[in-house]
Amino acid sequence: MYENLLKTVNNLGSPRVLIVGDFMLDIYVYGDAVRISPEAPVPVLRVTQTEYRCGGAASVAADLAALGAKPICIGAVGCDENGKILTDKLTEIGADIAGIVKTTDRPTVSKQRLIGLAQHRHRQVLMRIDHESTHPLPDEFCQQILDAYRNALAGADIVCLQDYDKGLLTAALCEEMIELATRAGKKILVDPALTGDYSKYAAATVITPNRKEASTAVGFEIEDAESAAKAAQILRERLNVQAVVLTLDKEGAYLETNNISQIVPTRPRSVYDVTGAGDMVLATLAAALTADCDYITAVRLANITGGIEVEKFGTATVAIEEVINEIMAEKRGKTGKLRPLDALLDELDWHRRQDQTIVFTNGCFDVLHRGHVEYLKFTKQQGDIVVLGLNSDDSVRAIKGPTRPINSQRDRAEVIAALECIDYITLFDEPTPINLIQRIKPDVLVKGEDWATKGVVGREFVEARGGKVVLAPLVKGKSSTATIEKIKSL
Distance CA 237, CA 257 (A): 10
Q: How do residues 55-110 score in pLDDT, each as one tens digit?
A: 999 999 999 999 999 999 999 999 999 999 999 999 999 999 999 999 988 999 99
Confidence category of residue 280, pLDDT binned at 50, 70, 90: very high
Q: What is the DSSP string of 407-430?
A: S-HHHHHHHHHTSTT--EEEEE-S
In terms of DSSP bridges, do strands 109-118 and 122-131 run parallel, antiparallel, or are they unpaired? antiparallel
Strand 385-391 relative to strand 424-428, pairing: parallel
Q: Which fold has domain 336-489?
A: Rossmann fold (3.40.50)
Domain boundaries, the chain: 2-24+54-103+135-331, 336-489
- Convert the pLDDT of each residue in 334-390 to its tens digit: 667 898 998 899 889 878 877 899 999 999 998 888 889 999 999 999 999 999 999
Three-state secondary structure readout of 193-226: CCCCCCHHHCCCCEECCEHHHHHHHHCCCCCCHH
CA 57 to CA 73: how far, in whole Å?
8
Distance between CA 195 and CA 180 in Å, rounded? Answer: 24
| Closest among 24, 168, 50 to 115, alpha carbons compared | 50
* 322-326, Cβ contacts within 8 angstroms, sequence gap of 24 or more: 323/9, 323/67, 324/6, 324/9, 324/350, 324/354, 325/354
By C-alpha distance, which of 23, 28, 39 is closest to 106? 23
CA angle 42, 46, 47 (to 5 degrees): 125
Point out the residues that are catalytic.
Answer: 279
Residue of 291, 296, 321 lying closest to 308 (CA atoms): 321
Quick one: CA dihedral 33, 36, 40, 44, positive or negative?
negative
What's the DSSP call for residue 93?
T
- The three-class DSSP label of residue 128 is strand
DSSP letter string over 434-462?
HHHHHHH--SEEEEEGGGTTT--TTHHHH
What pLDDT does 266 receive? 84
Contact 469, 462 (CB under 8 A): yes
Query: Phi and psi at residue 131, in whole multiples of 5°?
Result: -115, 115
Confirm if 202 and 237 have CB atoms less than 8 A apart.
no
Instruction: Say if CB 122 and CB 65 are below 8 A apart.
Output: no
Size of the chain in residues: 490
Model confidence at 412, in pLDDT bands (50, 70, 90)?
A: very high
Distance CA 239, CA 25 (A): 31
Mean pLDDT for the chain? 90
Q: What is the pLDDT of residue 427?
A: 95
Q: What is the model's pLDDT at position 332?
A: 65
Burial bucket for residue 249 (CB in 10 Å: 0-12, 13-18, 19+):
middle
Higher-confidence residue: 316 or 206? 206
pLDDT score recorded for residue 442? 97
Question: CB-based burial of residue 145 (10 Å sphere; 0-12 exposed, 13-18 middle, 19+ buried)?
Answer: buried
Closest CA to 408 of 420, 396, 418, 424: 396
Any idea which fold 2-24+54-103+135-331 has?
UDP-N-acetylmuramoyl-L-alanine:D-glutamate ligase (3.40.1190)
Contact 286, 305 (CB under 8 A): no
- Tell me: the pLDDT tens digits for 106-154? 999 999 999 987 665 677 888 999 999 888 888 888 999 999 999 999 9
pLDDT value of position 270: 63
Instruction: Please tell me the pTM assigned to this model.
Output: 0.75
Provide CB contacts within 8 A for 223, sequence distance 6+: none
Point out which residues pair with 124 in neighbouring strands.
116
Can you give the pLDDT at residue 335?
A: 67
- The residue type found at 313 is F
What pLDDT is recorded for position 89?
Answer: 97
